[in-house]
Chains A and B, each alone.
Chain A
Amino acid sequence: MKTQKTILVVEDEKSLRDAIVNILRINNFLSLEAKNGREGVELALSKHPDLILLDLVMPEMDGMTALKKIREDEWGVRVPVIILTNLSATNEQLVEDMVTRKPMYYLIKSDWKLHDVVDKIEEILKIKN
């Protein structure tokens, strides 16, 4: 019997966050929700989810800053992160941060359907047959 994996969804847009949580639930994942980077860091470091789905452009604390803080933690160094954003990686600093903080994927929202994102999650967590 497979144990349920927990996914932390850090996304400021409520409708998208709800949609992600919903499809995760359908695919037998537990989910945690954060509406900005600060909440995301707090939940990540306290709940230790199996994977983090992270938006970049958010109020209070952006996703890259949140990822930097998570990576500074001993647990957070290894947690797999998928960046799900609309931000194009044509900025030097963003690329530098991305390479340094090592997410598993940098996915453009408009290119990826939610079930494809779930596929990526399952691929990373190796729970797919």
Chain B
Amino acid sequence: MKIKLLNNIVLVCLLIGMIGLVFIPSILLAQVGTVNGAKVDTSNAGLVVKVAPGELLPISVKLSNFGGNHRVDVLVEYAIFSSIEEKIYSTNETVAVETTNNFIKTIQIPFGTLGGIYIAKTSITYQGQLVPATTQFSFTVEKKIFGLFQSDFFLYGGITFLISIFMVFFGYTLIKRRRRTMRLVPVDYSDIPHNTRVFYELISDTIMGMRQQVGENALDIARQINGLVIDEKTGRVLELTEKPSKVIAELVSGYEKALGKKISFSFRN
């Protein structure tokens, strides 16, 4: 009777010692269980932080049996909880662990899952387990629009929109400046005989100067001058069929009426 009591005391002490061995590492590291001298630990990590409903959530699982040298069959349960601790999905599988077992488990997030922060928990159960071993990580469920997460879609969409606005504005300004510059570039009349070239240049430069002030109206006025033939778009002088000085005088007169003031000239060197 005394011997049996002593044996029970030894068994209780042994169990307390085992629990102590298990409990301290479980505080410092993760929850660890033992079976037949084996200690099995689990750790998991989310490989992504954001998934869409219906997509696969990869979970990196590491099982370590560092308590013994023999194989342990471990039941691994995967579960997803909402932020209010509501379980929205769970599954399990049995995995044999001899020393370590690393693998990636993919879980499909149910279609219709609402957006928000969720927690993926991995827990292990095995024969003779003393304390539960559970690890977890959080991730976000978010809908996708055109293959992009909603928040990314609005972010990149916003940036793209702003860039587009900038590009349109920049392009418009560039085209406007180019048109203005083209108008300011004196037309070359080197193909015109020298004795009449100066008239072509003077008329052309006058039209160019007036386009800066009265816009395309300058071309309309020039087109109405008898004896002056110009290019409809560029304002280039194509032909003078009347006396050049008469054409210039009429052109100046037309511009002065349109502008309401006298006009100045510059001559090419």
Contacts and interface: CB of A to CB of B under 8 A. Distances in A.
B266 A105 contact: yes
A110 B262 contact: yes
Contacts of A19: none
A72 interface: no
B267 A89 contact: no
Given A92-B245, A95-B245, A112 B264 contact: yes
A108 interface: yes
B187 interface: no
Contacts of B244: 99
Interface string B239-259: 000011110111011001000
Interface of A: 86, 88-96, 98-99, 102-108, 110-112
A110 B269 CA distance: 25
A12 to B, nearest CB: 19
A108 B264 CA distance: 5
Contacts, number: 62
A86 B262 CA distance: 8
Given A92-B246, A96-B245, A102 B252 contact: no
A91 B264 contact: no
A92 B249 contact: yes
Given A89-B263, A91-B249, 18 more contacts: A88-B262, A89-B249, A89-B265, A90-B252, A90-B256, A92-B245, A95-B248, A96-B245, A99-B198, A99-B202, A99-B245, A99-B248, A104-B267, A105-B266, A105-B267, A106-B265, A107-B264, A112-B264
A106 B264 contact: yes
B126 interface: no
Taking chain A's interface residues, is the majority helix, strand, or loop, or is none over half, making it mixed?
A: mixed
A104 to B, nearest CB: 6
B197 to A, nearest CB: 10
Contacts of B265: 89, 98, 105-106
B199 interface: yes
19 contacts: A88-B256, A89-B248, A89-B252, A89-B263, A90-B249, A90-B250, A91-B249, A92-B246, A92-B249, A95-B249, A99-B198, A99-B199, A99-B245, A105-B265, A106-B266, A106-B267, A108-B262, A108-B264, A110-B261
Contacts of A88: 252-253, 256, 262-263
B247 to A, nearest CB: 9
A110 B266 CA distance: 16
A92 B261 CA distance: 19
A111 B261 contact: yes
Q: Counting chain B CB atoms within 10 Å of each CB, which of A96, A98, A99, A105 scores highest?
A: A99
A88 B265 CA distance: 11
Max count, chain B CB within 10 A of own CB: residue among A90, A96, A106: A90
A93 B243 CA distance: 11
A95 B240 CA distance: 15
Q: Which of A89, A110, A111 is the most central at the interface, judged by chain B CB atoms within 10 Å of its CB?
A: A89
A83 B3 CA distance: 134
Contacts of A92: 243, 245-246, 249
Nearest to A105: B266
Contacts of A99: 198-199, 202, 244-245, 248
Interface in B6-22: none
Contacts of B267: 102-106
A33 B39 CA distance: 112
